[in-house]
Copies of this chain bind each other. A is one copy, B any other.
Amino acid sequence: MFEIDPRSRKSIYEQVMDNLKDAIVMGQLPEGTKLPSVRELSKSISVNPNTVQKAYRELEQQGYIYSKTGLGSFVCPRSEIRAEGPELARAEEEMAEAFKTFLRLGMGFEESERKALEIFEIIKKESDEK
């Protein structure tokens, strides 16, 4: 399905979560789709099952998937994704910090904003290709 980068700053379970989130919000895994089982996925990406389990558990808490013992894990309707309150606040702070990081490198307002928009465009293009 995807690959884990052991050199990434992101922890493994976060990489798993983000990869699945991406596939869900981009519609590659539509509502109701059955995800690979914990054991399957852990094998295919060469990661301990507990680590995948942790990712699935957290995805469930955040409303992306639901799990049924004995049956597997399934994609929730997109409307159930918790995109409010603390989750949104944290995302906004992450964005604010990213901008401040630019400023701390000595970049000015305009340059920082221009660079950010460039990055956004690249991501949009990458997303559309998939």
Contact = CB atoms under 8 A, between A and B. Distances in A.
A84 B101 CA distance: 13
Number of copies: 4
Contacts of A45: none
B83 A105 contact: yes
A40 interface: no
A112 to B, nearest CB: 8
How would you classify the secondary structure of chain A's contact residues: helix, strand, loop or mixed?
A: helix
A103 B82 CA distance: 12
Interface in A4-56: 6-7, 11, 18, 21-22, 25
Contact of A124 (B11, B61, B69, B109): B109
Contact of A98 (B18, B94, B106): B94
A103 B119 CA distance: 14
**Chain A to chain B: the 5 pairs with minimum beta-carbon distance, closest first:** A83-B105, A95-B98, A21-B104, A98-B98, A94-B98
